[in-house]
Amino acid sequence: MERFLEVFFAPQVFARYAPDVLYAMMTTLWLGLVIILAGIGLGLVLACLRTAQCWWLTLPIVIFADVMRALPPLVLILIFYFGLPGLGLTLSGPLVLFIVLTAVLAAFAEEIFWAGLTALTRGQWEAGRATGLSFFQTLIHVALPQAVRMGIPSLVNRALAITKMTALGSVIGVKEILAVSSSAQAMSGSATPLTMAALAYLAIFLPAVVLARWLERRFSWRV
Partner 1 sequence: MSNIADMFFNLDIMRQALPLLMQGLVMTLKLCAVVIGLGLIGGLFLALAATSPRRWLRWPTMALIDLMRALPPLVLLIFIYSGMPFAGVQMPAFTAVAVAFLLNNSAYYAEVYRAGLQSLPSGQWEAARATGLSMPQTLVHVIIPQAVRNVLPDLLSNTIEVVKLTSLASVVSLAELLYQANMARSVTYNSSPLVLAAAIYLVLLWPCVRLVSRFQRKLSI
* Interface positions with partner 1 (CB under 8 A): 3-4, 7-8, 66-67, 69-76, 78-79, 82-83, 86-87, 111, 115-116, 118-119, 160-161, 164-168, 170-171, 177-178, 182, 185, 190-191, 194-195, 197-198, 201-202, 205-206, 208-210, 213, 223
What angle, rounded to 10 degrees, do the helices at 11-51 and 192-219 form? Answer: 40
**Among residues 19 and 86, whose Cβ is nearest to partner 1?**
86
**Among residues 19 and 189, whose Cβ is nearest to partner 1?**
189
CB 136 to partner 1: min, Å: 23
**Among residues 132 and 223, whose Cβ is nearest to partner 1?**
223
CB 79 to partner 1: min, Å: 5
**Among residues 19 and 122, whose Cβ is nearest to partner 1?**
122
